[in-house]
Structures are given as C-alpha cells and as structure tokens.
Chains A and B, each alone.
Chain A
C-alpha cells in the first residue's frame, strides 16, 4: 500500500508519441481509473508502472522510492490481466501460491494466505481445479486472489472486466469495489468503458493521444469537463460552437448562451457542452417562446426508444442534437414537429475546443 507518482513520463514508439509528459499522483489506497480510447496510452502507462515498458524520460516512484531501474519482479506489484493470464499448467491453489512460492514462503504460511485470499474473493473449494475448468467470473476471481496474495504495494488492473459478458461485468464491478475497499490498496485501473470508470473509481484520469487531458472525481469529470474531448468521451454531450461576447457565448445565429462560470476573454472562440439529459424538450405549440438564454428552436428528426428513456435527434440549423427524455409515460412528439430546447444556466459548460 503506497503512493505512486508519475513525473513527466514520456514514451515514444518509433514515430508515435505513446505518452507525452504525463504526471499523475496516485494517492494511498485510492481507486484510480485511467480512461481513454484505444491508442490513448493508458495501457502503456500501466505497463510502465509495472515495469514491462521502459520509459524514455521521467520518473516513477512507488512509496517514494524511484523504480525506473527496478525489474518487474522487484517492484512488489500485483497485476490482473485482461485475459487473466492464469498459468494453465497449475491448478487454482498453485496459481495463487505462485507469488508466495517464488518468495520462498513456507508451506503452512502459504496455505494460510492462499486460503485467506481465496476467501476474500469468495472462491473457496475450487483449489484443485485447473484454469480451463473455471468460468470467466471464477478465472477473474483467481487472478485477483493471485495478485493480492503477496500483499503488493499497488494493484494494477488492465481492463480486467473486458472479457466478461454484461451481467457478470456488473456483478464483478461490485465485487471489485468491495474487495478494494476491504484491502485498501492503491489500485490503478485501465478501462475504455466510461460507465465502469464512473462506477468504480475515486478519481479518473482521462488520456488522449498520450496526454493526460483531465483528472478529477467521477462527478467533477462528468459535470465539469474542461475539453470538448472529455465532454464527448463521457456521456452524450451536444457541442455548440460560439464566440464570447459580453460575458455570453454567442452562437452563429446570434443566440446567446449563458453559463455559470465566466466563459473567457471577449472574442475568443469557444465550445459549449450541454449534456443530452439536461435539456428540456417541449412541443413548440402556439405559446410564445421566452426570449431567454439557453433556448433553441428545433425540429424533431427521429427518436430512438431505449426502454427507460427516449432519445430524440433534433435538428437545429445544420446540427443534429441529442436529447434524452426519461420514460414517464409521456406522449411521443412526432417526427417533423417544431420543438423548443432549453436548459438551466448551470448546465452550459464552456470547454476548450
């Protein structure tokens, strides 16, 4: 259990900058998710902390101790791989005991700690099974027990739930969180699944093209994205281009949007992000539209029914915007109907283009 810090870490593969001066401080005991699209450098970063990739420049410390020159086996880490990487020639017990046996732990102590570990992941009684006799969820649990049994200083998870089907994934998310809370170990988790990151982590770091774009609590990242990339990557955000005029953001057609935060210097081009579920969509009947801010006239193009919600695709000028409406037994507004979109001031988030 320890703090892990990355300082200005860079890595180049050929001509591709896999990581570009990334600095992150992982706090003791926290659950941190590295989130990003494929090719963003998140896996490279994790493998670098583990020691499988060699950094070109920068520093990595675990519990204050620099580890760049330490081989993997000396770093005292625990790692869970996407495909679990259970040793096919060993049974469950031997898989979990592997880390202890290479450290020369005695037989009695090994038996006790393997037992504890398997209990922690709620997998008792399958000691003698071979990996190919286990289900996906069970393999996942063995991999976790194996990574934790040596009491590593940091737990690294490389898309550990990626190979599971949806229902099992949700179940394992809850399990993972419970176990992590239980052992209170610094956990770094790589995923491309935003929902997983939001559900599990204390903090999220968003990576794109080898750079750390934003970091913060799930709530912060979702509600206050600082860049168009983050806004688009997490959830459904509508992006509207405009220019700062008199403390408002003026869109191309002259509509003014106001936000809770100062949008920036006069005349600078900005982008406003509005979450699809924050927009109120009303039928534009006869009643007069208020000339207030954060209000757009639009036309329904189509709708997508998704059970608990209904998504409208609406056209405003040349753009197509998304609006999520909770399913509360409303009447569906027909395609082609004129509608009015509006949202509270606080939900206009000005981000970097």
Chain B
C-alpha cells in the first residue's frame, strides 16, 4: 500500500483522509469523551482541596498526595494490595502454566478446541456472580466444609469464609483463565520439532522446559502476569464479598472515597498513585503483551 500518499499530498489523499476520519472519528471521539477526558478531569480533581460543585470553594493543593506519603495507613494498604496482586499472579502462573502446556502440547485435535473453550467459558461470564458463587462453597457448613468433614470425621469448621485465603482463591479463580490463555497462545506457537531437537541433543524433560519452553513462552507468561496483576490491584468487590471485614485494600479505600466518604479528591489522588505504579509496570510489560496478542 502507498505509504507515501498519506496526509499532505492534495487530491486523492485528501479524500482518503476524509474516509479515514469518517471511519475512525466516531469511535475515537467516543473513547476520548468517555475515557481520556474523565481521566484528565480526575487528575485535575486530585489536586483540588474539595469537589468544585455547588457553592463549595476548591483550591489547588497537593495535600491529597501528601496524605499518601504522610500516613502509614495508605502506604501499608498499597503494599497489601501489591502483595495480593503478586500472590494471585504467582498462583495463576503456578497452576495455569502446566494447564496451558497440557492443552497446547499433549491434547490434540477436536478435544483441544473443546477443552480450551471450556476453560475460557467461565472467564467471560459474570465476574461478580462467580465471586459470589464461592460464598456458597466456602461458607460455614458449606459444601467444602462438609466434604472435608466427610473425608476426615470431626475435622470441625474450616473457617475459610471471610479470610485472606478466601480472597486469594476467589481472585485466582477469576483470573487464572487469562494466564492459561496467554501461555497457551505462546506455547502453541512453539514448533514441536524444537522440543524434539533439544531431546535428540541429549536434553531431558526438565532441561527442555527450563532452557527452551519457558524462555520461548516468556512473552505469554509476562502478558498474563500484567493482565492479572493490574486488575487485582484495583479490585474492591472481590475482597468485600469474600474478605468481609478483613477485606480492606487500596481498591476498597478508593471506592469508599467515592461512594461513602465523598472525598473525591483523595480518592482521585490514590487512584493516580496506583495508576502511576501500574503504568510503570505496563511500560515494562506492554511490549510483551503486544507481541502475543
């Protein structure tokens, strides 16, 4: 295609430009108005002393950001959220990667397609409902507790509901299909002959995994990790439902600022601190994501 005939040159290229604008314009105006503008306004709000609505007087200030660095409370919560994100990501990799491997390299033919679909089917179904469904499993005298007590009589209550592990289980359940999906895509792209070549050269299974499969699947693993870590960092509904009173994270605090406390500027500042850290991670991770998708 003629790269040279882009904007600038008159005649044909002008009509081309019009066509391109007509086709892409509406979608991108929409995105700008509903995503980019709101983000910018929120950035502006994060530097205000109060919400500039009605008769309230708002002045520019950095005290919302200062609050984060002055009060241990927010920093500890931010770290807690990072730990949650890291743990969920790690478990998703630990359990998801072998699953992707089996799917990509062991299962063949029609079965593979069917199983793959089964794995990502819950993934696109309602996230809230899936988290809620875990309360049915984890609750006191629920299915899991009964099963454990049936296997080991007099085991007593499990007490899993409203605990940190419950949040982890729920989040891993929510996000593990991401990891399986991205790892599967990059594992599937590895030519089986490469693995055979390595084995013919004397490499055992573990060596093949360590020196060939993991390095080649790394973009997929990284993509999965980014796609899991970022949303977990911003999760608030999951910790509230499965964590109850102990489910306080930076996400729930931000939510509180907007729905309960109505301290929008502080909520905005906390969001942008989190976003700043997320962007830093994306800056490292996005090249890998783009290579896989």
Q: Do chains A and B touch in the complex (CB under 8 A)?
A: yes
Q: In the complex where A87-B212, A89-B216 touch, is A72 in contact with B199 (Cβ < 8 A)?
A: yes
Per the bound structure, the CA–CA distance linking A160 and B84 in Å amounts to 51
A83 within 8 A of B: yes
- Complex contact A150–B201 (CB within 8 A): yes
A98 within 8 A of B: yes
- Complex contact B202–A99 (CB within 8 A): yes
Which secondary structure dominates where chain B touches chain A?
Answer: helix
- Complex contact B194–A102 (CB within 8 A): no
Distance from B198 Cβ to chain A, minimum over Cβ atoms (Å): 7
Distance from B159 Cβ to chain A, minimum over Cβ atoms (Å): 47
Place the interface of chain B in its size category.
10 to 19
Q: Which of chain B's residues have a CB closer than 8 A to the CB of A81?
A: 193, 196-197
Per the bound structure, the CA–CA distance linking A72 and B191 in Å amounts to 18
Distance from B195 Cβ to chain A, minimum over Cβ atoms (Å): 9
Question: B191, B201, B216: which contacts A102 (Cβ < 8 A)?
Answer: B201
- Output the nearest chain A residue to B201 by Cβ-Cβ distance: A99
- Complex contact B216–A88 (CB within 8 A): yes
- Complex contact A79–B196 (CB within 8 A): yes
- Of all A-B residue pairs in the complex, the 10 with the closest CB atoms, nearest first, are A99-B201, A85-B193, A85-B197, A79-B200, A72-B199, A102-B203, A89-B215, A81-B193, A73-B202, A85-B194
List 13 extra interface pairs beyond A73-B200, A73-B203, A87-B194, CB under 8 A.
A51-B199, A71-B199, A73-B202, A74-B202, A83-B191, A85-B197, A87-B197, A87-B198, A88-B216, A89-B212, A98-B211, A99-B201, A102-B207
A interface list, Cβ under 8 A from B: 50-52, 71-79, 81-83, 85-89, 98-99, 102-103, 146-147, 150, 156
- 29 A-B pairs within 8 Å (CB atoms) are namely A50-B196, A52-B199, A71-B204, A73-B199, A73-B200, A73-B201, A73-B204, A74-B202, A75-B200, A77-B200, A79-B197, A79-B200, A82-B193, A83-B193, A85-B194, A85-B197, A87-B194, A87-B197, A87-B212, A88-B216, A89-B215, A98-B198, A98-B203, A98-B211, A99-B201, A102-B207, A102-B211, A103-B202, A146-B201
B interface list, Cβ under 8 A from A: 191, 193-194, 196-204, 207, 211-212, 215-216
